[in-house]
Structure formats: C-alpha cells, structure tokens
Structure 1
C-alpha cells in the first residue's frame, strides 16, 4: 500500500435493522440506518462523525470495527475488506484496529485486575508469556500516564478519567494503526474530558495513531479532528475541516447543530 493510500476506506455503506412483523405471515419491515456512507482516513489523521441520537453514528462505528456486517458496501483497512475476511484472518487483523467505548466503567470487567484487562487483546491474538504480558502492560500504562503499581489494582479503585485511560491503554496494547472511539469522553466531567482529549492528541503526535471519533459534542470533534462528517438520518449531509464547517455551516441540519451548542451567559 502506498504512503498516500487511505488507511481506512469506507465505500457506499448501507445498513438496516429488522422491525417486528405487523402481520403474522407478512415480511418483516426494515428500519434503514445508513444510506451510502463514504469516507476515508489517511494514517495519522483524525475523522470525526457528528450527529444527533439516532443518526447512525454508533452503527457506523460497530461496522467499522467489524462487529456488525453491513447490508452492502465495504470497509477496507490497509486494503483488506474486513467483512470478507475469514474469521481467523479477521481475528489477526484486529491487531491493527481497536476500540474505545463510551462508558469507562461498563467496558472494564470489575473482577479483573488492570493488567488482565489491558492485556486481553494480546491474549485474544496469541499466547504471550506472563513476562511479555506484564512488560507490555507496564509500557501502555506509562503511555497513558498511569503508574506501574496500578497494574495490580481493580477498576473500582480509579476515577472515571483514570478508567478511560485504562480503556485507552487496552486499545493501545496491540500497537494498532486505527482506534475507533465511540463517545469516549461523554460520560466524564468536563475537566476530565479535556485531560483525556489531550492524552489522545499526544498519543497521535508521538505514535501516529489514526482516530475515527464518534461524538455528538462539536467541541470535542473540533479539538481532536482534522475533518468532520455530519450524519443526518444515516446520510452524510456535510463534511470539511471542523473550524470552517462549524464557523460557516452550509446545510440546515449542520446549522441547527451549531445553533444548539450551549453558550455561556455572563
């Protein structure tokens, strides 16, 4: 793959969910969720996807992670169509892409130590020795600003921001090329949100990580992303650099999102 080729390329993505039958023998109606979504991300860049609840953002994230199969279209990472890979090949490919979920506590098993949690992707991809797993856990915990002794603690011993750092460490353990982050700071206090976003930016600068960031928060996307897609009803209605797009939105839906952002009254 050439240096200028996209790391992630999504083409003509369509998806729908079945609804309950309205008649016993009738066909199941379908709820369309995504309609011809197209985008690409080059290495070391960040793409944000914004839209209100129900716009298809999280469905897009799950399909990009090959956690759901689209009705049609393709998701190519490093030139490989993820949804056409055999199960073993897909498992091996997951070394190159990982996910950070919205809830920093719900996504961590409270019965496991931090070391066990962050090394889970390594164990899913192979059988690292205990020494190898401990060394890699110490490395990624240091990268996210946690101490070596934290590896032996449990999630309940940490604050929300620290838990999300643990989730980010788990995503980094395989040294992925792409991290898909679905509302990674929405469950955190505002001051903690800034800390986690700055951490994500530092990791990108130091390690060249590429992000696909799903968010309803325009400020979060503006802080981290080079480009933004505005998703309405499963369709991309506008795209561009966040500073320009949010300063001069062209589509009525984007204008309504920008107008809805709370402003301080002094």
Structure 2
C-alpha cells in the first residue's frame, strides 16, 4: 500500500533514444531521441492523460512505464520499486500490479486462443494456477466487463470490436492491478460504443480501485477519464495541469494548437 502522500507511479528524468541506420559504413550510428527528461507523479485514484501529436513520444513513454523497453536514462518507480532495476523474477511478480490495454482490440487478441486462455494469460504468467480457479477468475472478470461466463469458450472472431475491447480490459483486470496503462483505448472503436467503454473504465475504477495512465490524442476521451493532463511535444513535457483548466486556458502555444486542431461542426446557415 502507498502512503497518502506517496505517488503510485513516479517517473523521473526519463529519456529514451532509438538507434537509426548508419549513414556511412564506418560512421557513428545516429540516434532518434524519443523522450527527453520526462518527469511526473501519478497518485492513486487520480487518472493522468498523456497527450500529443503522433511522434511526440506517447507510446514510447507507455512502453517504458510498462517495462517493455529499457530507458536510456531515468527511472520508473511503481509502489516505490524501480521497475527497470528489478531482477527479471521480481519484475515478473511486480507485473501483478500493472497491466496494459492496447489500442487495437483486433490485433491484441490471439485468434487461435479461446477467451479464457486470452483473459487468464497474465495470471498464468505469474504462477501456476489450478483449472477451477482459472475458470472462476475468468468468469468474474468477464462479468465485471459486461460479458457472460459462457463467453469463455468462444474465440475473438465471434465478438464485435467493442466486445473485444471489453475482453482486453478483462485480461488487464485478471491480476487485480493497481495501475492500468490504456494506450488509445477507444480510438479503434465505432463512435457509438466509445462512450460505453469509457464509462466501463470509470465503473471499474470505482469498483476495484484502479488508477489509469491514459495515452491518447483524443481530447474528448481525456476530458471524460482524466482530471489531470500532461502534454508531450517532441519527447518533452511542455505543459501539465488540471484537464479542465488546461483545455480552457492553455499556457503553451503547442497545447493551444492541439485544441485548435479539434474538429468542430459549425451549424449550416439558414
């Protein structure tokens, strides 16, 4: 448990470089600096959005927080543990506390596995679990996301896009995490079901005490889910603040440019 004043997630001076192909055979290998000295705190129960245009470093930041990539510099601490300094066995155990919901509900689910195998995969990766317990835990999280326990024996192609994203959310829930990183969680869905999934995420937060780190370019999604927002531009933090204030009175020109780029429907003249 974290103390009331202690952040759930603490990111400090996080930087990451991607190596690029050499331009000359014996020349130095150039690097793309995807993140530059990013720092922020995320407190339990107070969702934070990371926004910015494509190439701003949002997805790189998500992968570093999830310990899927290793940073060039800086640290990611979850519940006081530096994830990138943990031995592999301890990191595997720590993954119980943080999971991820990916953008594409079609590509993130293995079409060759049934729903029970997909949903329980993170739980099975932690330690051996009996079949009866797997069935029970799978049925519970499917119920939590609005699906039936009988869906466990079906396959991804039998579900709609919105249902598949519910399955992806159930998979993230199975370990009872403290933190879920949601990378563009509704961008691949029809507009008609986006609100349903967003409301589901908020209901699950209330029921299970989850905190979300939301990666998004959709400012409407951010406004719905996150009281705080951090703006990334070319790998650097240019602004952070309360979402409502930041969207109504932005201080940085880049934030204003993001807001100006949001499509608006003008009423047709009579």
TM-score for the superposition, normalised by structure 2: 0.97
User: Which structure 2 residues correspond to residues 69-218 of structure 1 after superposition, within 5 A?
Assistant: 69-218=70-219
Q: Deviations over 1:50-108 (max 9, x none)?
A: 00000000000000000000000000000000000000000000000000000001000
Which residue in 2 is equivalent to 1:256? 257
Q: Distance in 2 between matches of 1:45 and 1:139?
A: 25
Deviation at 1:210, TM superposition (A): 0.6
Q: Distance in 1 between matches of 2:135 and 2:43?
A: 32
Q: Distance in 2 between matches of 1:226 and 1:90?
A: 29
Match status 1:11 vs 2:12: yes
Deviation >2 Å, runs of 4+: none
Return 5+ residue gaps in structure 1 as ranges: none
Deviation at 1:124, TM superposition (A): 0.4
Q: Deviations over 1:217-249 (max 9, x none)?
A: 011001000100000000110111111111111
SS in 1 for 2:171: helix
Q: Distance in 1 between matches of 2:124 and 2:194?
A: 30
Deviation at 1:3, TM superposition (A): 2.5
Deviation at 1:265, TM superposition (A): 2.0
SS in 2 for 1:119: helix
Q: Distance in 2 between matches of 1:192 and 1:39?
A: 31
- Please say which of residues 14-23 and 171-180 is displaced more in the overlay: 14-23
Which residue in 2 is equivalent to 1:235? 236
Q: Deviations over 1:167-205 (max 9, x none)?
A: 000000000000001111100011211111000011111
- Measured on the aligned residues, the alpha-carbon RMSD in Å equals 0.7
8 Å contact from structure 2 (residues 180, 210) kept in 1: yes
Count of aligned pairs = 266
